[in-house]
Amino acid sequence: MKLGQNEGYIFSRSLLLQIQSALALLVYSALIFIVSCSDETSDRVVKPELPEEKKDTIDGYYVLKEKPLDTIKHYISGPWQLHYSYGGITGDIRINHHNSFMDFGTGDSVLWTRDGELYAHSPITWMKVVDIHGDSINLMHFDDKREYPYDWGVWGIKDDTLAFYDNANDGMAHVLSKID
């Protein structure tokens, strides 16, 4: 069967339209990729400004527990890996946390995953209290997905290691490291 001139033209025009559509989709996808990789994103986490102040240290830790809330938020903001908790009723219980990650955003929320599962996604309520040790601190309160409450004091930071503590008689200390 021999194709006429008009039939060959229609086939070629249809093929040309398919190629143009594919190229337009490719260009559109490339633009989306370039824009999404830009440093100018509006939802980028920006650390709160750090006020100038004297840095009290104990065992190399910059002690944060009695510092202003803005200072605490500055140091805890962003993603962390929770490595272990230590203390408890006997004082020497150690719980290793494998694949446990926490992100405090700018210090106003917590997103906590354990073994890839969501464990807590909660706003942080900051309260000025006298802690179990008799110190006036900014206490971090949040709930896990079971609505179990956590009341943590921020002990301090040493290099890329952050330490929290439970505000309780049989509380545990929690040790995290910064994720870049």
Query: What is the per-residue pLDDT across 40-78, written as a single tens digit (0 to 9) for each?
Result: 444 445 555 555 555 677 778 899 999 999 999 999 999
What is the average pLDDT score of the chain?
82
What is the pLDDT at residue 4?
52
Percentage of the residues of the chain whose pLDDT score is greater than 70: 69
pLDDT (tens digit, 9 = 90+) per residue, 3-38?
Answer: 455 554 444 555 555 556 555 555 455 445 454 454
**Which tokens belong to 25?**
């989709």
CA distances from 162 to 12, 43, 109 (A): 66, 25, 17
CA distance 158 to 177: 10
Least confident of 24-33, 92-101, 131-140, 162-171: 24-33
Residue 138 has pLDDT above 80, yes or no: yes
CA distance 178 to 150: 21
Residue 113 has pLDDT above 70, yes or no: yes
What is the pLDDT at residue 157?
96
What is the pLDDT at residue 40?
45
Model pTM? 0.69
Residue 103 has pLDDT above 60, yes or no: yes
